[in-house]
Amino acid sequence: MKLYLRSTLAASAVLALGLLNPGQSAQAEEWKFAIEEIQGSVQDAYASKFKEIIEQKTNGDIAVAVYPYGTLGTSGELTELVISGIIQFANSSPGHLGTLVPEIQVFSIPYLLSQNDEVNKKILTESETIYKDLAEDLEEKGLKLLTMYPEGEMVWTTNKPIRKPEDFKGFKMRVMVSPMLIEAYRAYGADPTPLPYAEVYGALQLKMIDGQVNPIFAIEEMKFYEVTDYMIWSGEQEFTTTVVTGTDWYSGLPEDQQKLIQEAISEANDYIFEVQRQYNKERLEKIKEAKPGINIIELTEEERQAFQEKAKAVRDKYIEMTGEEGKETLESLTKEIEQAEGSS
């Protein structure tokens, strides 16, 4: 186990792990799975399903403890704990992983993934670009990529209507801590403000930022709708996440346990695609009930095109940041998406 930790917060998570044992039997081996979201979220549904499958398949010989957001640290710190082998699994979303693995930010390029859910499902579970090229990039940092899945379309929640790039002038838009996302909102003409997830509500309330972007289920459970007046669908992006484990830990496992993990990942994947769809649908109704005055705006095709046009520059920025290898990743992923769209 690598014991070097880059942040003191991550080190304090180690202490928290000692104190926060969610109570498994003393005999059971325990695998720890940290998520970037709170209980009741899409990531929680996935991790809970994974837990259920592992515990059932091993008759409880292996227990999985799920640690929700807020118990062990920020997204970046969770990734660090996985690399160090202190915890075994974590969600690590591209929007946060970009400072460590710049190539993964391909998923932060607006209007890259399809508008067709089935196409995205196929890409996120089978793409060679993801499971060969990007997986190698992660491997170099000590992370084994187990899977990727979508969590729903990103929706802007704002304090004013945004219908065209000019409306973003002087607008402080909160983004995840990713250089690509900063470039994306800069390209739209906004003033991007990277902040950790836990600070978004307070920053909106105190008017330090003017808006944020996330899938509907998150807007509901994090109560962002309480402190913003508009929900705007721009069609720019699907929120995606990865599930990672530590390369050192995983490669030290017996083959049957590696197989068990792969099976549980695949079963949990089948489950989550439907669950995230349902969560996003139901939570929109909850938001409308809780705040009937919320303004719902769906940008027209023409309005979306203006943002799409601006987003073209973001592809060049990605290549600038990642070089020849990133260029190949972007091209091969784009080709795979087009092919999947053609045969859907």
Q: Enumerate binding residues for ligand 6CS (CB under 6 A).
A: 36-37, 75, 93, 96, 151, 176, 197, 214-215, 218, 239
> Helix 75-83 to helix 8-19 angle, to the nearest 10 degrees?
80
> If you write DSSP's letter for every residue of 45-82 in order, what string do you get?
HHHHHHHHHHHHHTTTSEEEEEE-TTSS--HHHHHHHH
- Shortest Cβ contact with ligand 6CS: which residue? 197
Question: CB of residue 18 vs ligand 6CS: minimum separation in angstroms?
Answer: 25
Residue 243 vs 340, nearer CB to ligand 6CS: 243
Question: CB of residue 154 vs ligand 6CS: minimum separation in angstroms?
Answer: 9
Residue 63 vs 193, nearer CB to ligand 6CS: 193
Question: CB of residue 74 vs ligand 6CS: minimum separation in angstroms?
Answer: 8
Q: Are 110 and 186 in contact (CB under 8 A)?
A: no
Residue 197 vs 249, nearer CB to ligand 6CS: 197
Residue 121 vs 303, nearer CB to ligand 6CS: 121
Question: CB of residue 172 vs ligand 6CS: minimum separation in angstroms?
Answer: 15
Q: Which of 14, 23, 71, 17 is nearest to 44 (CA)?
A: 71
Question: CB of residue 25 vs ligand 6CS: minimum separation in angstroms?
Answer: 31
β-strand 230-246 against 295-298: which pairing, if any?
parallel
> If you write DSSP's letter for every residue of 105-145 in order, what string do you get?
GGGGSTT-S-S-HHHHHHHHHH-HIIIIIIHHHHHTTTEEE
Q: Which residues pair with 172 in a beta bridge?
A: 191
Residue 37 vs 133, nearer CB to ligand 6CS: 37
